[in-house]
Amino acid sequence: MRGYEIIFATANNNKVLEIQHLLGSSVRLLTLKDVDLYENIPETGITLKENAALKAHYVVERKGLPCFADDTGLEVAALNGEPGVYSARYAGEPANDEKNIQLLLEKLQGMPVRSARFVTYICYIDANGVEHYFTGELVGTITLERVGDGGFGYDPIFKPYGSELTLAQMTLDEKNRISHRAIAFRQLVQFLNSNT
């Protein structure tokens, strides 16, 4: 599989760093910038899975290379699954991690049950145009306040079950051992190893 090129349909450099760390040198990961695709890709699906597929198809149709896209959401039980598919823009446009965190903490104020889960869906479209899906989840709880300065998104307020640390307090290696995205991407990597 060495030298195999795949586009990762994202402009999020944090995600690129996480995933390239998992892939190592086995796959040459191309970002949207690498293939001169700068426009915002529509995310009009009503589920995370639909959004992942929409993004992957958008890139494949324009660039003709295998591509994968992911969509991740945070689902909070006490808020009936919010923010879910709207996680990145929970507090409105433009997307802002700090405002999203603040809104979520405000909505959970005084609530004793703070269980939540991160869910990631990946859609990989291979060289033959066939869709393949992979998913991962991480369960935990929402903290009362921000703790840690690493990671991104909701990492400072999410503490996985069995851990004394939030995701924002973990090293990249620690996070990659347990994270929803890492679980899903390990499935993708295993698939690529077996099929390319």
Pairwise CA distance, residues 29 & 67, whole Å? 10
Hey, CA dihedral for 1, 174, 15, 121, is it positive or negative? positive
Pairwise CA distance, residues 22 & 170, whole Å? 16
Return all residues near 98 (Cβ < 8 A) that are at least 6 apart: none
User: What are the beta bridge partners of residue 196?
Assistant: none
Return all residues near 106 (Cβ < 8 A) that are at least 6 apart: none
Amino acid letter for position 156: P
Given 34, 36, 70, 71, the catalytic residue: 71
Hey, CA dihedral for 71, 85, 139, 49, is it positive or negative? negative
71 is known as an active-site residue: yes
Catalytic positions = 71
